[in-house]
A = this chain, B = another copy of it.
Amino acid sequence: MISRPTITQLASQLGVAPSTVSRAFTRPDLLRPDTVDRVLAAAKAVGYVPNNNARALSTGRAGAIGLIVPDIANPFFPPLIRAAQNHASAAGLSVFLADSDEDAEREERLIIAMAPQVEGLLVVSSRLPSTRLRELAGRYRLALINRDVAGTFRVLLDATSAIRAALNHLKELGHTRIAYVGGPERSWSNRQRRGAVEVTARQLGLHFTSYGVPPGTYEAAKALSRTVVGKGATGVIAFDDVLAHGLMGGFAEERIDVPGDVSIIGCDDALATQTFPALSTISFNVADATSAAIHGLTEHPSDATLPTARITFDGTLVLRGTTGPAREYSAFRK
């Protein structure tokens, strides 16, 4: 932030009032078109850029939103972050990004520190307890993504129907033993997905087993792969593509063929086709969901909190190369 032309300098140089310059930028409709042109041209010539801080101070509107994610390195988040930036900048807002590092306390500190400085906060895949989150949403302008807390403004990527489609697909291929490999326990998506797999499996008469990979990492999933298949599951649904990929890595090492020996379906469609074989998965329209959340954040800018809302987006099953006919358990047992 080095010194630069101010609105007053530009105004006196043009022989107009500061407010005229201001209006040329914020309410050009109030000015004669040629005045606007004159001001804008002069602004460009001297390199005048409005000072956001002064503007924010004057209007009481921060001109920015905050975005908190648990782990920027997880491939699910970058597209979301990019979508958030695009939508925010279309609304004339910049975005402060922060990473909670999967740490609930850090997440709360971030919320408290950032909230007063921004128009509102997009909190994605929160790791905070629901009661805390509800409290915070009662004090600050929070829009949650992938966290279903009653009384808050939340946008949810709902995998239920896609999971039903996935299990139907596996059943048709002859799979009878299904495993779910879950991720972070604090993740709402994880609990939702596990629940959906369990319920659907029961409805379809499929044997269901659940595993957990609390750190949610590729490595941890890989380490679990032998166990999963050793217990006889031939169809596995993973919490997300990272875990699915980790399982595939483990299977590859064990010479367990995908999809010959075991079928696997991920979630989030975050790895595109960067696995071999290409991963079947559940895809969401993250951009639309993010857009909805940003809408909520920007809609009634002067309210202290966001209205209660529950907006859901369904996922779609995307079949690629990791599902195939079931093989008999014993046929590849080691």
Residues in B whose Cβ lies below 8 Å from that of A81: 72, 97, 99
Closest CB in chain B relative to A269 CB, distance in Å: 13
Asked if A37 is at the interface (CB within 8 A of a chain B CB), the reply is no
Q: Report yes or no: B49 in contact with A53, Cβ–Cβ below 8 A.
A: no
Which residues from B are CB-within-8-Å of A72?
A: 72, 78, 81-82
How many copies of this protein are present in the complex?
2
Residue A245 lies at the interface, judged by CB distance under 8 Å to chain B:
yes
Check: A199 CB closer than 8 A to any chain B CB: no
Q: Which of A55-63, A153-161, A188-196 contacts B (4 or more CB under 8 A)?
A: A55-63
A4 to B112, CA, bound (A): 13
Instruction: Decide: B85 and A116 in contact? CB cutoff 8 A.
Output: no
Q: Give Cα A71 to B252, complex, Å.
A: 30
Binds B, one of A9-17, A126-134, A170-178, A271-279: A271-279
The CA of A99 and the CA of B77, in the complex, are separated in Å by 13
Chain B positions within 8 Å of A78 at CB level: 72-73, 78
**Contacts A81-B72, A82-B73, A97-B97 hold; do A56 and B1 have CB atoms under 8 A apart?**
yes
A54: nearest chain-B partner, CB-CB? B57
A304 within 8 A of B: yes
Which residues of A107-141 are within 8 A (CB) of B? 112-114, 116-119, 140-141
Contacts A57-B51, A72-B78, A98-B85; is A2 near B141 (CB within 8 Å)? Answer: yes
**Cβ proximity bits A1-35 to B, threshold 8 Å, 1 near / 0 not:** 11110000000000000000000000000000000
A56 — which chain B residues lie within 8 A by C-beta? 1, 53
Task: Given the known inter-chain contacts A95-B97, A97-B97, please indicate yes or no for A140 contacting B274, CB distance below 8 A.
Answer: no
**A79 in the interface (beta carbon within 8 A):** yes
A99 engages B82 (CB within 8 Å): yes
Given contacts A97-B81, A117-B52, contact A57 B60 (CB under 8 A): no
Residues on B with beta carbons closer than 8 Å to the beta carbon of A52? 53, 117
**A219 proximal to B (CB < 8 A):** yes
A75 sits at the interface (CB 8 A): yes
Q: Is the interface of A mostly helix, strand, loop or mixed?
A: mixed
Q: Does A253 make an interface contact (CB < 8 A)?
A: yes
Q: Contact: B276 with A252, CB < 8 Å?
A: yes
Q: How far is the CA of A102 from the CA of B49 in the complex (A)?
A: 25
B residues near A114, Cβ cutoff 8 Å: 94
A313 close to chain B: CB less than 8 A: no
Assembled-state Cα–Cα distance A2/B142 (Å): 12
Q: Is A232 on the interface with B (CB-CB < 8 A)?
A: no
- In the complex, how many angstroms separate the beta carbon of A79 from the nearest chain B beta carbon? 6
Q: What residues of chain A have their CB less than 8 Å away from a CB belonging to chain B?
A: 1-4, 49, 51-54, 56-57, 60-62, 64, 72-73, 75, 78-79, 81-82, 85, 94-99, 101, 112-114, 116-119, 140-141, 218-219, 245-246, 248-249, 252-253, 272-276, 302, 304
| CB-defined A-B contacts under 8 Å, sample of 30 | A1-B56, A1-B60, A1-B118, A1-B119, A2-B116, A2-B141, A2-B302, A2-B304, A49-B112, A49-B116, A51-B117, A53-B53, A53-B57, A53-B62, A54-B57, A72-B72, A72-B78, A72-B81, A72-B82, A73-B75, A73-B79, A75-B75, A78-B78, A82-B101, A94-B117, A95-B97, A96-B97, A218-B272, A219-B273, A249-B275
